[in-house]
Amino acid sequence: MLQKRTYLDPEVLARISRFALKARLVVEGFLTGLHHSPFKGFSQEFADYRPYIPGDETKRIDWKVYARRDRFYVKEYQEETNLRGYILLDKSGSMGYGDKITKLDYGKFLGACLAYLLFKQKDGVGIITFDTKINEFIPPSSRKMNFTRIIEAIENTKPGSETSLSDVLFELAQRIKRRGLVIIISDLFDNPELVLRSLRSFRYRKHEIIVFQVLDRKEYRFPFYETAIFQDLETNEEIVIQPDSIRESYKKKFDNFLDNYKKKMLEAHIDYQLLYIDTPYDQALYTFLQKRAKLL
C-alpha cells in the first residue's frame, strides 16, 4: 500500500482516477507529515470564547463561565469564524500545456486539495473556473453537497480557449461582495499590469489573496533545439522558430515576467507562490495554511 506522503507527488496522483479520493489522500498525506498541526483547537460545535462586547446578543453569553469566573464571555461558533474561500481556477488554453500532467491538471488537483482542506475545516468553499469569461461559479458553502459539486466541477474542467485573466478577475472582484480568501490558480499569462490592477481591486474590497502561478519547467527552460513550428494552444497561431537563435532572449523575457509578478505581488501584499507542475503539493498547501493562520 502506498504511503500517504507519496500522494503529494503530482505524477503519482495523476494515476488515481477519483478526484475526491485524490484530494483526501493529498490533504491527509500532508497533514500526517506536519509535526505541529496549525489547526489545533478547531471544533465542529465550538470554536472559542471571547470577552463580551456591548452590542453582542445576551443570549450568547455563557452563563456557566460567568458563574465560574464572574465575567461575561460569549461563545464563538464555527459558522461565524470560518473563512469563505473562493478558488479561482484558470482553464484557458495555455493551462492545457504539459506532458505527463498539464498545468490545468496540476491546478485542478491543487484546487481540489484546497477545497477539501477548507471543507474539512468547515470553511465555506466555492469555485470559479474561467477562461475569457466565467464558466462555472459555485458560491462558497461548508455543506458537504457543495463540496461534492465543487469536486464535480473541477473534475469536469477542460482546457478552454484564450485567456482574459485581468478582465475576469476584475469582474469577479465586482461580483464577490463578502470578503473572503481568494485563491487564484493560473499561469498568469496575461498583461501583468492589468492582472495586478485587477488583483488590487480584490484587495480594495478587503479580500485576502493567494496567487498560485502554475508553470511547466519547459516554459521556463525552453528545452527545444530543432527548428520547429510552434503552435499557440490558445490561439492556434503558428510560427516557425529556430529555438537556438532566440533562447537567450526568451529566457530573459520570461525571467523579467516572473520577477515582475513577484515584485509587484509583494508590493500589493498579495501572497504569491510559483509552482512548477512537478512541485509536490505540500508547498502550496503549506502556503495556504500559513495564510489561513494569519487570517484567523
Partner 1 sequence: MTFLNPYSLFGLLLVSVPIIIHLWFRKRLKKILFSSLLFLKNAEERRLKWLKLREILILICRCGFVATLFLALARPQLKSTFLKNRLASVYLIIDNSWSMAYGNNFSRMIEIAQNIIMRYSTNSEFFVVPLCPQEELDEPFWTNRNGALQILKKIRLTYYSGQLKDVLMKYPIKDHRFPAEYLYLGDGQELVFKNLNPGDLRNFFWIKFPSGSNICITQVSLPDPITIPVDKYQLLVNIENFSHHNWRGTVEITANDFDIKQECKIPANEDLNLLFTLPIKIQRGIVIISEDSLTPDNRFFFSKSIPHKINLLLVGVDSYLTYALRPADRINSAFNIDGVNNLGGIDLRKYDVVILNGIKEISEGEAVRLETFLGQRNTGIIIFLGDELGENLKRFITRNLPIDILERVKLRGYATIDFLDFDYQPFSIFKETSGFRNIKFFEFFRTIANNGIRAKLSGNNPLVICNKNFSVVTTKFSEKNTDIMFHPFYIPFLHRMIYGAINRNPDNEYRIGDKIDTTKILKGPDGEYIRNGGFVIPGFYILSGETIGVNVIPEEGNLKSLGEAGAKSLDIRLIDLEKISDRSDFSPFFLFCALVLILLEMILLVV
Q: Contact between 260 and partner 1 (CB under 8 A)? A: no
- Minimum gap (Å) between residue 249 Cβ and partner 1: 4
Quick note: the x/- pattern for partner 1 over 36-75, rule CB under 8 A, is ----------------------------------------
Q: Contact between 269 and partner 1 (CB under 8 A)? A: no
Q: Contact between 130 and partner 1 (CB under 8 A)? A: no
Cβ atoms within 10 Å of 113's Cβ, excluding its own: 27
Among 45, 57, 70, 237, binds partner 1 (CB under 8 A): 237
- How does DSSP assign 55-107, residue by residue? TB-GGGB-HHHHHHHSS-EEEE-HHHHS-EEEEEEE--GGGG--SSS-HHHHH
Non-local CB neighbours of 36 within 8 Å, separated by 6+ positions: none
Among 233, 268, 274, 296, binds partner 1 (CB under 8 A): 233
Helix (H, G, I), strand (E, B) or coil at 167: helix
Three cell numbers, residue 151:
469536486
Nearer to partner 1, 24 or 247 (CB): 247
- How does DSSP assign 187-219, residue by residue? ---S-HHHHHHHHHHHHHTT-EEEEEEEE-HHH
Phi, psi of 176 (to 5 degrees): -85, 105
Distance CA 213, CA 184 (A): 8
- Residue count (the chain): 296
Q: Contact between 221 and partner 1 (CB under 8 A)? A: no
Nearer to partner 1, 57 or 237 (CB): 237
Nearer to partner 1, 236 or 290 (CB): 236
Nearer to partner 1, 82 or 198 (CB): 198
Q: Considering only the C-alpha atoms of the chain, give the largest distance between any 2 of them, rounded to a whole number of Å.
A: 81
Name which of residues 77 to 106 contact partner 1 (CB under 8 A): 93-97, 103
Among 6, 43, 227, 290, binds partner 1 (CB under 8 A): 227
Nearer to partner 1, 86 or 189 (CB): 189
- Minimum gap (Å) between residue 8 Cβ and partner 1: 25
Among 28, 76, 219, 278, binds partner 1 (CB under 8 A): 219
Exposure of 163 in the CB half-sphere (CA atoms within 13 A): 24
Instruction: Write out the residues near partner 1 by the rule CB under 8 A.
Output: 93-97, 103, 187, 189, 216, 219, 224, 226-235, 237-242, 245-246, 249-250, 252-254, 257
